[in-house]
Amino acid sequence: MNKLLASVATATALAVAAPALAADIIVVAHGQANDPFWSVVKNGVQKAGEDTGANVEFRSPETFDMVQMSQMIDAAVNQEPDGLVVSIPDADALGPSIQRAVEAGIPVISMNSGSDVAHELGALLHVGQSEYDAGRAAGEKLAEMGGTKGICVNQEVGNVSLDMRCEGFAEGFGQEVTVIPTMNDPTEVESKVRAALDSDPDVDTVLGLGASLVGEPAVAAVEALGRDDVLIASFDLSAGFLEAVADGKAAFAIDQQQFLQGYLPVSFLALNAAYGLVPGGDVPSGPNLVTQDSAAQVIDLSAQGIR
pLDDT in tens, 229-243: 999 999 999 999 999
CATH 3.40.50.2300 intervals, the chain: 2-128+258-285, 131-255
What is 131-255's CATH number?
3.40.50.2300
Say which residues have a Cβ less than 8 Å from residue 30's Cβ, sequence separation at least 6: 60, 61, 64, 66, 69, 87, 89, 113, 159
- Give domain 2-128+258-285's CATH number out of 3.90.1150.10, 3.30.360.10, 3.30.565.10, 3.40.50.2300: 3.40.50.2300
pLDDT in tens, 77-98: 999 999 999 999 999 999 999 9
Beta partners for residue 231, in sequence order: 205
User: Looking at residue 81, what is its pLDDT?
Assistant: 98
User: Looking at residue 17, what is its pLDDT?
Assistant: 47
Beta partners for residue 180, in sequence order: 153
pLDDT tops 90 at residue 9:
no
DSSP one-letter code for 124:
S
* DSSP secondary structure letters along 253-285: EEE--HHHHHHHHHHHHHHHHHH----SS-EE-
Cα separation, 86 vs 94, in Å, equals 10
* Confidence category of residue 131, pLDDT binned at 50, 70, 90: very high
Residue 38 has, within 13 A of its CA and on its CB side, a CA count of 20
Pair 10, 271: CB distance under 8 Å: no
Backbone angles phi, psi at 233, to 5 degrees: -135, 160
The mean pLDDT value for 54-75 works out to: 95
pLDDT tops 60 at residue 203:
yes
Q: Of 169, 190, 301, 282, which Cα lies nearest the Cα of 235?
A: 169
Cα three-residue angle 303-8-235, rounded to 5 degrees: 40
